[in-house]
Structure 1
Amino acid sequence: MIHYKTKEEIELIRKSAQVLSGALAEVAAKLKPGMTTLEVDAIADKYIVDNGGTPSFKNYKGFPAACCISVNEAVVHGIPNDYVLKDGDILTVDVGVYMNGFHSDSAYTFAIGNVQENVLRLMGATKQALYKGIEKAVVGNRIGDISYAIQEYTEKERGYGVVRELVGHGLGRHLHEDPQVPNYGKRGSGPVMKEGLVIAIEPMINLRSKDVEYSEDGWTVVTRDGSPSVHFEHTVAVAKGKADILSSFTEIEKAEKNNPALNTNY
């Protein structure tokens, strides 16, 4: 069942998403080689709590941290640990915030230092694919129109691998709601989008093969061939004419550019 939100409820989700985006911007400002992913998680966790939110992921189905932090070949759901970040790594920080009775969800992939050119191109394409999907999140379109736009841009035009097993989703009072939002599919398929639908659009794109598998920890999803994977995500409200992006990358991108440890040439 799809739960449509009122304008007032969408504004509450926007406030949650603003805190989330602030947490990712805080990470962008402080991220550097030598930090552990546990230290990165602590930065986001503290920011969320200090600003009146609760990390959505912490204790969700037993997940132990505020953020999913996925490094290099890890696609999603990486558990923060004592791994020390180094020059050339990419890492995705995926985080949710629960606030005023509603969840928001967003993810951003960062490049540390001298990241390979082909991986930087993958980052740029995945980020662009997110916005191509968002362009289709308007009243009267179908979910498959989002899916097709992402797949067409990343897989058919560029030859990357679009992960099939993991999808975007509705969200609101629950972290995961209907409908599912795949990153592959046919135009004109799936539910018709109506005003009040709030969804997380989140392309997860691999440098080579689309195939993934679970790590021994039971959470972390990795590429089967060991190639890098990139993940960007926004919380979006479907609207007439143009989608309303409730989360924001503006402050993240500003902090990223001002951090000499991060590579923004993608």
Structure 2
Amino acid sequence: MKSFKNITGLAIAIALAPFSMSAQNVYVNQLEITENKTTSILFPHPIEAIDLGSPNVLAQRVPGTENVLQIKADTSAFDETNITVITSGGSLHQFNVRYEPYPATCYFIINKSGVLETVQSVIFNETNPVSVFERAYKAIRPQNGKVSKEKVGKVKAVLQGIYVKDNNLFFSVSVQNNSNIAYDIESVAFVVKDRKQAKRTAVQENVIVPIHASSAPKTIRGESSIHVIYTLEKFTLPTTKQLQIVLTERNGGRHITLKVDSSDINNSQSVNIK
């Protein structure tokens, strides 16, 4: 918790500054947060100002981004409060925030109507979005390719392939649990970091929030596996940066990191949707 507080100074400074712009659109959403997980919200426009209704809530704009807000509770319980965020263009987003020890998800996106949606509920913006997604998923079947892999104990994660279609990148990930102990996935984070970190310099990180994830169980039972496709908005990396896909185990230590280089993304395969 202390590390989150230390990097929250900028957000608090923004929050204390008076709002100098008038809101053209006002949106109200409900939000549940906890102290053991960080909630990420992707806004459609850059964040201009933040106001926290209670010191029991911590918030920061992700360094290196303009439209991703991270939120966390500073205590195990608190009375319902609110967070107000103003984005460029004069949109005001108010979140009625309450404490929930086990929120259903910690990854959200604000759609064009100002509604807070979970990553899993975000579908492609096309005429027939569901069928487009289903066709993309069928086209990206589990394969034997290995862009990146890591094994911790008897749990192995493999990035089987990276695919591209229009403005989306698809990351095909499989996780195999060869142990008798279930693997509970607490979070999956996509983080851009410097490939080489000089001593005594600050770590530069940029969190990329997926805009969609195919359905998959959060628990991988013993002697079983899952396959998940994560959809991210198209991007590339300089050779000095690296994408890390971090899988964190709930109440465990079998955390896995898949490392992806810029060349892996540049060599993404085209998705042939029929």
Question: Quick check: TM above 0.5?
Answer: no
TM-score category (smaller protein) = under 0.3
Richer in strand (by share): 2
Return the index of the structure with the highest Cα Rg. Answer: 2
Q: TM-score, normalized by length of structure 1?
A: 0.25
